[in-house]
């Protein structure tokens, strides 16, 4: 048995190519060498410095490398990277749209695989987050702010999530927040802490 220095898995010696100069096993297993060749193919095609290639490498590393800072949220949770090459990944995803888009999994508990990846905005990604326990908030309402927002029609709403309220009504959150301190109205809406 020998540990591959790329994927860090212990594998039988038959899983390693022999070096032509010494006859000893290479430090990377055959699968990693083969993958490296495919990645080099993408580099040769001029894609190595693109945001698409960076997204490919970053997702692969956070799923496959236990030494990566984000591994505990991906690979350790069982999220797998199932693309064999950058070309396959790029064929599924295509070019990243203009603007602030990044790689997202449609099913947050699913793998990086065909049919489960897309380019998404930060807002889309925030709405697609997995639920996780927040024990420090259990029964603690001191951290949650409540706002009383008066509509132009005079209707008053009690709101816990101002950002969501502003998205629904097409308002600018910073301007509505300013109305708390100044008393000014933003498009006829005013807000105050409760």
- Tens-place pLDDT, residues 144-193: 577 888 899 999 988 877 777 888 888 888 888 788 878 888 888 888 87
Residue partners of 88: CB distance under 8 A and separation at least 6: none
Selected residue with higher pLDDT from 130 and 74? 74
Rounded Cα distance between 59 and 54, Å, is: 9
- Domains of the chain, start order: 1-44 (no CATH), 46-130 (no CATH), 145-193 (1.10.10.10)
Looking at residue 64, what is its pLDDT?
93
Torsion of CA 184, 187, 190, 191, to 10 degrees: -110
Is beta strand 156-159 parallel, antiparallel or unpaired with respect to 147-150?
A: antiparallel
Looking at residue 117, what is its pLDDT?
94
Selected residue with higher pLDDT from 121 and 136? 121
Average pLDDT in the 14-24 region? 74
**3-7, 111-115, 134-138: segment of lowest average pLDDT:** 134-138
Mean pLDDT score of the chain: 82
Residue 89: phi and psi, rounded to 5, are -60, -50
pTM of the model: 0.53
Average pLDDT in the 24-31 region? 75
Looking at residue 97, what is its pLDDT?
93
């Amino acid at each position: 048995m020998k540990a591959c220095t790329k994927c860090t898995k212990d594998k039988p010696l038959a899983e390693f190519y022999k070096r032509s100069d010494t006859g000893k096993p290479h430090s990377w297993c055959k699968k990693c060498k083969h993958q490296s060749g495919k990645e080099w193919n993408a580099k040769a095609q001029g894609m190595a410095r693109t945001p698409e290639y960076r997204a490919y490498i970053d997702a692969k590393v956070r799923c496959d490398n236990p030494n990566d800072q984000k591994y505990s949220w991906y690979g350790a949770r069982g999220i797998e990277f199932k693309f064999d090459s950058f070309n396959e990944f790029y064929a599924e995803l295509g070019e990243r749209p203009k603007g602030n888009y990044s790689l997202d999994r449609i099913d947050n508990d699913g793998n990086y695989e065909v049919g489960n990846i897309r380019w998404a905005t930060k807002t889309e990604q925030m709405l697609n987050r997995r639920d996780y326990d927040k024990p420090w908030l259990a029964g603690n309402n001191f951290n949650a702010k409540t706002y009383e927002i008066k509509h132009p029609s005079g209707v008053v709403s009690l709101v816990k999530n101002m950002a969501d309220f502003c998205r629904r009504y097409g308002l600018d959150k910073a301007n509505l927040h300013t109305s708390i301190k100044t008393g000014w109205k933003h498009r006829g809406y005013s807000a105050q802490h409760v």
